[in-house]
């Protein structure tokens, strides 16, 4: 049976790697993102493997999300798997020196964006009595590190929402789980350090970080389990990482 998977933040990093992995497993994909050119490029790349539909919107805009979901053609209207992947980190500052625009961006995308997407998709899953939500969290949702303040708070919120969502949906037939990666070598640090490539590169020097493809493999594993199996909360780090502040770079 064909399954439709919707991925937010599909234009780079974990989202893009997941789209590539799942396309080769035969899942039909709804790829969502803000960067139209990247979406179209990815669609062209993957269309030979499976059916692709793209939606261009910002998860911070609830009205745009509703309109985008309503615009889906009939074939894509029932969504079997929602992957709440869109997220960001802006800045790495002491709380007293933090930029409130950065705070707004992290809370609006990481927390409210995840909620808006879930609100748009869940009612149809519940009415159908079937579905699967995967929330992409972070090890930053399990512990706090210096200067991580608001980013860590946003990912702690994802952890709480994931647990609450699983409780509220118990008995509906909808599975809910989270994948919480540690250090993954993507554009994440480019965004966090606002284009300072030297700072971004230093994050991943001296050890082998997780790659986006590693998380994509895990996502495929999670969604390919039998119906009675739910990976509720999975944390994954590279071998060199023991915690947010302890990384072997020798």
Cα–Cα dist 86/71, whole Å: 20
Is 107 buried (19+), middle (13-18) or exposed (0-12) by CB count in 10 A?
middle
Domain, as residue range, for 74: 4-236
Q: Is residue 48 part of a domain?
A: yes
pLDDT for residue 1: 63
> Is residue 194 very low, low, confident or very high in pLDDT (cuts 50, 70, 90)?
confident
CATH of residue 70's domain is 3.40.50.720
Judge whether residue 26 has pLDDT over 90: yes
Mean pLDDT of the chain: 95
Q: Is residue 249 part of a domain?
A: no
pLDDT for residue 152: 98
> Residue 162, Cβ neighbours under 10 Å: how many?
25
pLDDT for residue 189: 75
Q: Is residue 248 part of a domain?
A: no
HSE, CB side, 13 Å, CA atoms: give it for residue 49.
Answer: 16
Q: Is residue 203 part of a domain?
A: yes
Query: What's the pLDDT tens digit per position in 89-100?
Result: 999 999 999 999
Cα–Cα dist 107/112, whole Å: 6
| 135 in Cβ contact with 174 (< 8 Å) | no
Cα–Cα dist 107/235, whole Å: 22
More confident residue, 72 or 192: 72
Cα–Cα dist 138/184, whole Å: 10
Q: Is residue 58 part of a domain?
A: yes
Cα–Cα dist 81/231, whole Å: 14
Q: Which residues are catalytic?
A: 151
pLDDT for residue 202: 87
| 94 in Cβ contact with 148 (< 8 Å) | no
Number of compact structural domains in the chain: 1
Once rounded to an integer, what is the mean pLDDT over residues 42-64? 96
Q: Is residue 244 part of a domain?
A: no
Q: Is residue 246 part of a domain?
A: no
Q: Is residue 174 part of a domain?
A: yes
């Amino acid at each position: 049976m064909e399954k439709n998977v919707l991925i937010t933040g599909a234009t780079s990093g974990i989202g893009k790697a997941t789209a590539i992995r799942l396309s080769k497993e035969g899942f039909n994909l709804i790829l969502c993102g803000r960067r139209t050119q990247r979406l179209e490029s990815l669609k062209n790349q993957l269309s030979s493997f499976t059916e692709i539909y793209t939606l261009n919107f910002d998860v911070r805009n609830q009205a745009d999300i509703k309109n985008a979901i309503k615009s889906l053609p009939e074939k894509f209207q029932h969504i079997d798997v929602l992957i709440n992947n869109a997220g960001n980190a802006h800045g790495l500052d002491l709380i007293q020196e933090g930029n409130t625009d950065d705070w707004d961006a992290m809370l609006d995308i990481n927390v409210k964006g995840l909620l808006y997407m879930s609100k748009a998709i869940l009612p149809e899953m519940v009415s159908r009595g079937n579905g699967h939500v995967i929330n992409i969290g972070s090890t930053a949702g399990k512990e706090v590190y210096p200067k991580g303040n608001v980013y860590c708070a946003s990912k702690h919120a994802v952890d709480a929402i994931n647990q609450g969502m699983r409780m509220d949906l118990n008995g509906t037939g909808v599975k809910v789980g989270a994948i919480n990666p540690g250090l993954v070598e993507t554009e994440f640090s480019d965004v966090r350090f606002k284009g300072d490539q030297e700072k971004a590169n230093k994050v991943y020097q001296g050890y082998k970080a997780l790659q986006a493809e590693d998380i994509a493999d895990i996502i495929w594993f999670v969604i390919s389990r039998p119906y009675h199996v739910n990976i509720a909360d999975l944390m994954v780090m590279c071998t060199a990482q023991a915690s947010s502040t302890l990384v072997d770079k020798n």
